[in-house]
Amino acid sequence: MNPTDTEVTPWSPTATWVVRGLGMAAAVAVAATVWLGLWVTPPDQAQHNLVRLVYVHPPIAWVALYLAFGVAAASSVLWLWPRTRSRFWDRLAVSAVEVGTVFTALTLITGSIWGRPTWGVWWAWDARLTSTALLLVLLLGYLAVRRVPADPDSRARRSAVVALVAAVDVPIVHFSVDWWHTLHQGATVLNANLSPTIHGSMAWTLLLGFVAFTLLFAWMLAIRYRIEVLSERLLDSELDVALHERWAEGTGPVAGEPGGALASTGRRA
Amino acid sequence: MSYIDAGYAIALGVLAAYGAILWRRRQRLERAAARSGGRRAP
Amino acid sequence: MWRDTVLVAGKDLRIELRSRVVMHQVVPVGVLVLVLFAFALGPDRAPMAKAAPGLFWVAVLFASVLAVQRSFAVEASDGARDGLRLSGLDPAGVFLGKSAAVAVQLVVLEVVLTAGVVVLYGSHIRSYGSIIVAGLAGTAGLAAAGTLYGALAAGLRVRETLLPFLFLPVAAPVLLAGTRAWQVALGTAGNVGNVGSAGSAGDPWVRLLLVFAAVYLALGVVIFGPLQEAS
């Protein structure tokens, strides 16, 4: 078994430095994006000030739908594959899913806010919005499965399967809804304007937006990963302490090695 | 408040809140881990 | 693997034949859903007939959750699940067998619901061929994905609420494609561009149902074994 599994070590100086750097870079980049997006860049010909949401919505969507989901799916596969199995992938998967859920919800919210003045509706059943909404539900399903009390291995197994099924389902959903629309004349109106022509300062700000939210995701992923490591250990040591107290109640001071007994008593699904 | 302002505010607000939640959870866990580190098998 | 498939499917179907839970409880729920929709949409039959394809598939979806839950509930007692795992049967075979049994039960349900839709909503079937193919393809997909998730949720105390929450979103494409295929077969499609033979316009949807089924059958075969190792 992996030696780091039995003990919580604080982050190495390099790791701390990297994560701190990520956090600061993310904060700066996001602030710069907001400043440029809201004030410095010019309004669009067609969309006027509404185009400013392009610095926020597409980057958040990219993080949610491709980055977070991709990391979650890939980590799940890597965990399931016996040769690459490691606690690292399971922890990375749950971290990516949790952070990804926040970003997915925001994708829907910012998309809806953009859609209302542009199309006149808060919601439309086009391919992208529908697939994203479905992805949100699938991610919530993953988190729900994760909450079920179980030993780490079983929990990891179930979660990974959920992630895999979701990864396979989302493209199918997207494709089918897209098709649904191309056969249904009325919807072409809605497919219009969410991609304005971008040039000059707008293009740079958009690029900055993508970088900024990617950095933010990376930072959140790292912190969430650390939280996962710590809470796993805490659960184990709390169990340790509780069991010791229980034994002490029954038979007085306990000598000897109770470590082995933990494995069987701690593992009910 | 215009749609754009609302959009930015919500996006940044939620992300800031979530970031803060993560940060605090981590702080508390690090402190708990440091404490219980000395309380394993007697 | 195929031998184990037949073995497990046979066992599940025999249990059903003797206990008749699906026939007496799940199928009536499906019909009940159709009736309830009539309360919601009626009393005029026109909106019902228009919505019939979608309502049919929604009823099938809900019933499939019950069928899958039943499929795993039969093994919940007396350590039968562990018995199955330790029996040395190929997990892929177990998966296919259980999916097949669920699929057979769903097909029976669908025949009843089709009759229900014709009688209750006044639908006219123009192309029996498409209905049958779409039904089989959709059923295969639902059974496969359902059995996979059913195995995942089996043995968990929260399985009754977790399974629908996990399974129904995944089943959404089947609902969508199945409804479209049925619309063409029932002639209620309306906005379909060319009025060719009912079969050709529904083809892309049937193909999607087949892809869905193939994908989830393959996924299940591969992943069922590792999944069983979760306690």
Residue among B22, B33, B42 whose CB faces A244 most closely: B42
* Number of separate domains in chain B: 1
- Note whether C169 and C198 are within 8 A (CB): no
CATH number of the CATH domain containing A216 = 1.20.120
- Note whether A255 and B41 are within 8 A (CB): no
Contact across the interface for B26 and A238, Cβ inside 8 Å: no
| Domain membership of residue C103 as a residue range | 2-228
A120 reaches B (C-beta below 8 A): no
Site from A60, A230, A239, A244 to mutate, B interface, most B CB atoms within 10 angstroms: A230
Query: Mean pLDDT, chain C, as a whole number?
Result: 84
pLDDT digits (tens, 9 = 90+) for A19-38: 899 999 999 999 999 988 88
B21 reaches A (C-beta below 8 A): no
Look at C191 and C90; give whichever has higher pLDDT. Answer: C90
Whether A91 maps to a domain, the answer reads yes
Largest CA distance in chain A: 81
| Chain B residues with CB-CB distance to A37 below 8 A | 8
* Number of separate domains in chain A: 1
Look at C206 and C23; give whichever has higher pLDDT. Answer: C206
Whether A22 maps to a domain, the answer reads no
Contact across the interface for B29 and A234, Cβ inside 8 Å: yes
- Note whether C120 and C28 are within 8 A (CB): no
pLDDT digits (tens, 9 = 90+) for A141-154: 999 999 888 888 88
| Chain A residues with CB-CB distance to B5 below 8 A | 38
Q: Residue A212 — pLDDT band, cuts 50, 70, 90? A: very high
A56 reaches B (C-beta below 8 A): yes
Look at residue C159 in the predicted model and tell me its pLDDT: 67
Whether B39 maps to a domain, the answer reads no
Q: E-assigned strands of A89-200?
A: none
Site from A90, A157, A182, A264 to mutate, C interface, most C CB atoms within 10 angstroms: A157
Q: What is the dihedral of CA C168, C169, C172, C174, to 10 degrees?
A: -60
pLDDT digits (tens, 9 = 90+) for C69-111: 888 887 776 667 777 777 778 888 889 999 999 999 999 999 9
A227 reaches C (C-beta below 8 A): no
Whether A10 maps to a domain, the answer reads no
Contact across the interface for A38 and B8, Cβ inside 8 Å: yes
As given in the structure block, the two tokens for residue B16 are 């800031």
Whether A267 maps to a domain, the answer reads no
Question: Does residue C197 have a pLDDT over 50?
Answer: no
Strand-pair partners of C33: none
Whether B42 maps to a domain, the answer reads no
CA distance from start to end of chain C: 23
Whether B41 maps to a domain, the answer reads no
- Kindly provide the ipTM of the predicted complex, given to two decimals: 0.85
Whether A222 maps to a domain, the answer reads yes
| Domain membership of residue B7 as a residue range | 1-34
* Number of separate domains in chain C: 1
As given in the structure block, the two tokens for residue A66 are 């491709």
Site from A104, A221, A237 to mutate, B interface, most B CB atoms within 10 angstroms: A237
User: Whose CA is closest to B15, among A23, A207, A40?
Assistant: A23
Q: How many helices and strands (H and E) does chain B possess?
A: 1, 0
| Domain membership of residue A37 as a residue range | 29-191+200-231
